[in-house]
Amino acid sequence: MKLWGKIKMKIALYNAKVYVERERFVEAVLVEDRKIKAIGTNEEILATTDIDEKIEFLRNKYPEIIIKQGMEFGMQVHSHMHIFNFGERMCQVKIGDCESIDEMIDRCKKYIDENPESVKHGLYAQGWNQDYFTDSDRIPTRFDLDKISTEIPVVLERICGHILTTNTKTIELLGIDAKSQQYPGGTFEIGEDGYPNGIFAENACNYAKNVIPKADIEQRKKMFIEASEYAAEHGITTVQSNDLGTIVFDYPEYFKFFKDIYNSGEGIIRYRHQISFETVEEFKDYIENGEFKNGKYDEDSLIQLGPLKLFKDGSLGARTALVRGGYKDDPTNNGIEWMSEEVMDEFCKVASDAGIQVATHVIGDGAIEKTIDSYEKTFGEEGNKLRHTLVHCQITDKALLERIAKLGIVVSYQPIFLDYDMHIVEKRCGKELASTSYAFKTLGDLGAKIAYGTDCPVEDCNPFPNIYSAVTRKDSKGFPEGGFYPEECVDVYTAIDAYTEGSAYMEFMEGKKGRIKPGQLADIVVLDKDIFTCDPMEIRDILPVITMIDGKIVYKK
């Protein structure tokens, strides 16, 4: 990605519509030495002396893009994703839009034929969704994947990352059969023939995926840079990303990996670690002897150390989210509890004693309730001073929402999940519970702090379809006409603020970024359409024409 010139001492951006805060806009911004120096009218900003570069937007300064009246600035702080996994997805066979198991098989066979060297040790891809299959909604099994290959291991993961299917070769390499002990925190299914059928769920997925050699560090670097460029091209200035402890596990090597990339100037977006650990003892070691003790991160640097990331349950689509009343379409199933109450309590206590934030994956109401219980046990008179966070927080009733707000717990929502989930949540949970779930507006009205993200690569990291989902509560085809439980629609200001100020708050950076105001970091995004006045149905198609991070233009259309 080309950086458009060196860092300028003073850059003026003018003749624009600059979003400052709800219903407040100005015309121009002055950037000086990585920060926003001033905002105001064109005349006020252009009166500044010694401006190194002036960028004008309404007079076709850049003739290759169409500049419309109403172009405005914003910034996007992404509250939760997995950028390493996204980088992997960009290099894999694409199976996310497959409409049948046979189509998935054919694509994988073609990929193997065309890429024999890259798959010689096995084929891995993520993205299928049985609910998108038009001929059958069954989950594929080893018998399906054996049609792809019986010579190399094949592992195809569902879009949610909580369930996958393998071929028989993978099962053989794992050395498991019907009598084998189940993996901790996960399961593998036994078929009618008395042999594993290739379907793995939750933590068992990691064992299956480990059969195929991981990308080496140079490949990871290439993937990370390409994924970062994609994020910047879509207006993302910061990612809060869970990679260590989920995608890669060599902590010293990958802490150094990130520092090397950013020290060399190759890192273009801000990156905040969300770190997972297998055991409490491992976490303690990193507090006492590792990165939490020895890591040095400048206050305004592009890379930051972030929270402990935990997982309490699975996904709604895979029926592994922990739900209190069982699934309406699978009544004996309450989902999977990844982490016991005792272990969760210990993780939270160790984190709180060390002054470390905790962010936990919770989707089902059972997982949300249990995680709130664990969090609350660590709260003193100052309450949630570490800004412990619920990531996803999908299935809720009114009492849970009120409790979250009362305790000051932060919520990282993914409104784009509605694109798929609105078609299954009533079947899974019933209409009454569905009506109080994905409660973006209600929770905000209760006073809770809310941040937005996409959980990429579960969904694309592009923030604009995500904002569209929050504002319209419609799927990508515009269904349903009035929106899914439309009383939970938020306005554009609220959605933008969740993506900016709310996500910055989640990382204790609301005084440094999240608003286009003097003193804040110069992370600025220029859009090709006025998001505040356009038809809400057009929001999902908005794209940036310029992305500035740390005072540098890192993307220009």
The pLDDT tens digits of the residues spanning 282-338 come to 999 999 999 999 999 998 899 999 999 999 999 998 899 999 999 999 999 999 999
* CB-CB contact of 504 with 514 (8 Å): yes
**pLDDT of 67 strictly over 70:** no
**pLDDT of 426 strictly over 90:** yes
pLDDT band at 73 (very low <50, low <70, confident <90, very high): low
**pLDDT of 32 strictly over 90:** yes
**pLDDT of 111 strictly over 50:** yes
What is the rounded CA–CA span in Å between residue 333 and residue 327? Answer: 6
pLDDT band at 136 (very low <50, low <70, confident <90, very high): confident
Kindly report the length of the chain: 557
544-549, strands of its sheet edge to edge: 24-26, 17-21, 72-74, 524-527, 544-549, 552-556
The answer for residues whose C-beta is within 8 angstroms of residue 317's C-beta and 6 or more apart is 129, 131, 158, 159, 160, 420, 421, 424
* CB-CB contact of 344 with 371 (8 Å): yes
Mean pLDDT of 17-31: 93
More confident residue, 73 or 217: 217
Mean pLDDT of 117-143: 92
Mean pLDDT of 214-223: 91
* CB-CB contact of 390 with 368 (8 Å): yes
How high does pLDDT run on average in the chain?
Answer: 92
Write phi, then psi, for 541 (nearest 5 degrees). -100, 0
The predicted pLDDT at position 51 comes to 87
**pLDDT of 66 strictly over 50:** no
The predicted pLDDT at position 68 comes to 33
Mean pLDDT of 185-210: 94
Q: Which long-range contacts (CB under 8 A, 24 or more apart) does 100-108 make?
A: 100/133, 100/134, 100/135, 100/136, 101/133, 101/135, 101/136, 101/138, 101/140, 101/144, 102/135, 104/128, 104/140, 104/144, 104/156, 105/144, 105/145, 105/147, 105/148, 108/148, 108/154, 108/156
The predicted pLDDT at position 57 comes to 74
Mean pLDDT of 481-494: 97
* CB-CB contact of 503 with 509 (8 Å): no
What is the rounded CA–CA span in Å between residue 390 and residue 494? Answer: 19
* CB-CB contact of 316 with 330 (8 Å): no
More confident residue, 72 or 355: 355
The predicted pLDDT at position 319 comes to 93
Q: In angstroms, what CA-CA distances link 346 with 119, 142, 539?
A: 41, 38, 43
**pLDDT of 1 strictly over 80:** no
The predicted pLDDT at position 50 comes to 87
Residue among 445, 351, 416, 422 nearest 389 (CA): 351
Cα 367 from chain centre: 19
544-554 b/e (C-beta count within 10 Å ≥ 16 → b): bbbbbbbbbbb
For the chain, give the percent of residues with pLDDT over 70: 95
The predicted pLDDT at position 74 comes to 59
